[in-house]
Homo-oligomer: A and B are copies of this chain.
Amino acid sequence: MKAAMFVKPGTVVVAEAPMPTIEKPTDAIVRIIRACVCGSDLWWFRGISQRKANTFVGHEAIGVVEEVGDDVTAIKPGDFVVVPFTHGCGHCAACRAGFDGNCSNQEPGGNGGYQGQYLRYTNADWGLVPIPGSPADYSDDTLNSLLALSDVMATGYHAAASAEVAQGDTAVVMGDGAVGLCGIIAAKLRGAERIIAMSRHEDRQRLAREFGATDIVAERGDDAVKAVMDLTHGDAADAVLECVGTDQAVQTALQLGRPGSLVGRVGVPQNPQTNTTELFWRNIGLRGGAASVTTYDKDLLLDAVLQHVIDPGKVFTKRFDLDHVQEAYEAMDQRTAIKSLLVISQD
């Protein structure tokens, strides 16, 4: 079978890979239909984070189950599924509390290789999210939105859930990448009345408005804080979604909320130290981490896509086949695509 492989910073190739097999009774083998490139993949593509050479890559997909292990009873061959980047067992304390991104029974390092024809998925029984019918039952646009449920939409939702966006709220969303844009969808889905999107790119501002943003702030840092204060007549936001992860973004995010508000963050943090004493005096909370993909999909996101309440698939602005995976990464790296889709199979 064929799969995308990281060679060195800036280079991803399509290589011949061994066909995965059931290794544990909780595994499933999934034939991948669509996959995509994540903003977090750019860290190693750009050489900012280390990655071992000649490793298979990708952690977002939809597909059809080929084979399951003996302990997998909720999923059967032929099932069409969302393949989350998380691998929740469904029964540990984290999963029971709805935080399957921190499942204590996850297999370390078992998340690579979704950008290929077949994948071994661990903790398949609870972790995979069954989609009614088969790929052929869905339009191209809906397939894209279903693919978004494997990470980016659930991650945007985690920002909104961590920030506890509630009915009638004014929410600020920092970051106009695919995750931030999905954060806007999530804030609207949770009933935010006013959604202030921070974006300085016209194409992304357009999509932000289409997803539900009511206001756009193009400024950064202190100017961004001033703009949000002006827009809210000094009241500040009820909830802040931090979908960037840089030090500046976190520091700005922590200035945008009213007392009692939470910053929900999903941008992988780069700066380890935060002055939390200042947060104490302002009663500002900081929360976030890896998304609860399976929980959110099963609870509400899959239904929201199937009922066309949300269209997160619109974040895919360029499409490639597996043979052109290098171009898919380059489009993200050069910001000519908001998010790159990889069509692995037509059915």
Listed in ascending order, the chain A residues whose CB lies under 8 Å from chain B are: 93-94, 97-99, 101-102, 104, 162, 232, 234-236, 238, 250, 258-262, 265, 268-269, 271-290, 292
Contacts and interface: CB of A to CB of B under 8 A. Distances in A.
Given A235-B93, A260-B94, A286 B276 contact: yes
16 contacts: A93-B234, A93-B258, A93-B259, A94-B258, A99-B258, A99-B260, A162-B285, A269-B277, A274-B274, A280-B288, A282-B289, A283-B287, A283-B289, A284-B287, A285-B288, A287-B287
A258 B288 contact: no
A26 B185 CA distance: 44
A283 B273 contact: no
Given A93-B259, A272-B277, A276-B276, 16 more contacts: A94-B259, A94-B260, A97-B238, A97-B258, A97-B259, A97-B261, A99-B259, A101-B259, A101-B283, A102-B282, A269-B280, A271-B277, A272-B275, A273-B273, A285-B286, A286-B287
Contact of A286 (B99, B286, B289, B292): B286
A141 B29 CA distance: 67
Contact of A275 (B97, B235, B273, B279): B273
Contacts of A235: 93
Nearest to A98: B260
Contacts of A104: 234
A118 to B, nearest CB: 29
Contact of A279 (B101, B232, B271, B286): B286
Most chain B CB within a 10 A radius of its CB, from A101, A259, A292: A259
Contact of A283 (B268, B279, B280, B290): B290
A287 B259 contact: no
A235 to B, nearest CB: 4
A58 to B, nearest CB: 21
A287 B262 contact: yes
A251 to B, nearest CB: 11
Contacts of A99: 258-260, 283
Given A93-B258, A272-B276, A275-B272, A287 B288 contact: no
A287 B290 contact: no
Contacts of A261: 97
A129 to B, nearest CB: 19
Contacts of A102: 259-260, 282-283
Contacts of A286: 276, 279, 285-287
Given A99-B258, A99-B260, A236 B93 contact: yes
A286 to B, nearest CB: 6
B271 A274 contact: no
Contacts of A94: 258-260, 283
A340 B235 CA distance: 39
Contacts of A278: 272
Contacts of A292: 260
Contact of A265 (B93, B236, B260, B280): B280
B289 A280 contact: yes
A290 B250 CA distance: 23
B285 A262 contact: yes
